[in-house]
A and B are shown apart, each in its own frame.
Chain A
């Protein structure tokens, strides 16, 4: 018990010594997140989008816990439950010292998990590589011998990482997620009556039904992919300019085209 206290005091001392470098490192990362991310063009004083704000608060707490290290802020989200190690990096899914899996922290959003900026456009990023890296540390199979508590954490944490990977990997899911982070939920119940779009979709769906062979279907599929890419780009533009209404329109269209793709896939 006293050994643990000594350890924590020592670690605080060490952290204090390394403070200048890490403190300067932290806000730099934080500012780069704020300024380059298109979702946080507003100034920090106004309420920024959900994820960045939570990072902001987390960082504040982190800084304050160092300044007043004699009474550290005991935030379970930033301290390892097992060895009490103070989290250095976000996301804190696995403790670096004792390698225990941490409980799910909902303030850590999917972009955070993959170390990405909260930006809709993430092409070219090594999602799969990072995903596998995480699973090497978090997978439930690795915690067979550990406590029930940790097994539960591993199950939840790896499920969340899988979710994040699937969401970020798919254009449409990512778009919906980005909107969700902005506080806009696509309403399930709503019906629309846009004659042009609906007529177009109706015709396409009819063409899918009547398609003679796989080649015809594949042709329609590639058309749908083109349209998805086009509207995905339009979504990215809308989000960048904060035009949420346009963004929602883009997402709706993407949903229709994605649905057609699903149907084609079923038929192939």
Chain B
């Protein structure tokens, strides 16, 4: 990993943008994983109580990882306008959730449910031993969508009840 980081630093210093060949070296993190680890996109939180926010909180007990993925949904169109994540875990887990937040942005909620962990894993060239990290990211997306829909159902339920109360 150190090799990749220093390579990257040198690459930047030389002010070029070389197309680095993807080196599949055993037991080193893939370039993309390092990139996501060093420059994670969309780290942060939304307000959990915001009705347009869905929060997915998942964990992998076997390695003690914890992943929180939040989506901000446009209520009218059902499109995900923004996403944030916070992950405590290995580099692969962080990268997987970072990728997940990138991929869900601008998509419909139903669309993101079809994001598969295998796609994330392929994108990051995760080794077999780290596949469960991408699975965690997939579960986090699903949990976030589920949470949002549950919130909406509750809000609609309340709204219906209040309308009926007003009519009565």
Chain A interface (Cβ within 8 Å of chain B)?
186-195, 197-199, 201-202, 205-206, 252, 255-256, 258-260, 263
B59 touches A259 (CB 8 A): no
Residues on the B chain within 8 Å of A201, using CB:
59, 66, 88
**Contact A252/B88 with A189-B132, A205-B66 known, Cβ cut-off 8 Å:** no
Contacting residues, chain B, for A202 (C-beta < 8 A): 57, 66, 68, 86, 88
Per the bound structure, the CA–CA distance linking A206 and B86 in Å amounts to: 10
Cβ–Cβ contact B132 & A192, under 8 A: no
A-side contacts of B63, CB under 8 Å? 188, 255, 259
Closest-by-CB residue of B relative to A200 is B66
For B57, list chain A residues within 8 Å (CB).
Answer: 193, 195, 198-199, 202
Once the chains bind, are A190 and B66 in contact (CB under 8 Å)? Answer: no
Number of interface residues of B (CB under 8 A): 19
A191 touching B136 in the complex, CB below 8 Å, given contacts A198-B58, A256-B59: yes
Interface positions, chain B 50-103, Cβ under 8 Å from A, are 57-66, 68, 86, 88
The 10 residue pairs across chains A and B that have the minimum distance between CB atoms: A259-B64, A252-B61, A205-B88, A188-B62, A191-B139, A198-B57, A198-B59, A255-B64, A256-B64, A189-B132
Q: Does B143 count as interface, using CB distance less than 8 angstroms? A: yes
CB closest chain-A residue, reference B143:
A193
Q: Are B66 and A192 in contact (CB under 8 A)?
A: no
| Complex-state Cα separation, A219 to B88, whole angstroms | 20
Most chain B beta-carbon contacts within 10 A, residue among A190, A191, A193, A255 = A191
Shortest Cβ distance from B70 into chain A, in angstroms? 12
Chain B residues with CB under 8 A of A252: 61
Give the contacting residue for B58; candidates A193, A260, A263; CB below 8 A: A193
Q: How far is B61's CA from A187's CA once the two chains are assembled, in angstroms?
A: 9
Question: What is the distance, in angstroms, from B20's C-beta to the closest C-beta of chain A?
Answer: 30
Closest to B62 in A: A188
- Contact partner of A191 among B64, B86, B88, B135, CB < 8 A? B135
With known contacts A189-B135, A202-B68, A202-B88, A197–B59 Cβ distance under 8 A: yes
CA gap between A208 and B59 in the complex, in Å: 18
**Bound CA span A192–B140, Å:** 10
**Cα separation A267 to B59 with both chains bound (whole Å):** 22
Is the pair B61, A190 in contact by a Cβ cutoff of 8 Å? yes
Q: Hey, which chain A residues are within 8 Å of B59, CB to CB?
A: 191-194, 197-198, 201, 256
Could you tell me which residues of chain B, from 127 to 156, have a CB within 8 Å of some CB in chain A?
A: 131-132, 135-136, 139, 143
Q: A190-B62, A205-B66 are in contact. List 8 more A-B contacts (CB 8 A).
A: A186-B62, A187-B62, A189-B131, A191-B139, A192-B61, A198-B58, A255-B63, A258-B64
Contacts of B66 in A (CB 8 A): 198, 201-202, 205, 256
Q: Bound complex: CA of A9 vs CA of B162, how far in Å?
A: 95
List chain B residues, Cβ under 8 A from A188: 62-63, 132
Among A186, A195, A206, chain B packs the most CB atoms within 10 A around the CB of A195
Task: List residues of chain A with CB within 8 A of the CB of B62.
Answer: 186-190, 255
| Bound-complex Cα distance A48 to B47 (A) | 52
Q: How far is the CA of A256 from the CA of B60 in the complex (A)?
A: 9
Chain A residues closer than 8 Å to B88, beta-carbon distance? 201-202, 205, 263
CA distance A186 to B132 in the complex (A): 14
Please name the residue on chain B nearest to A189 by beta carbon: B132
Report the separation of the CA atoms of residues A195 and B135 in the bound assembly, to the nearest whole angstrom: 18
Chain B residues within an 8 Å CB radius of A256: 59, 61, 64, 66
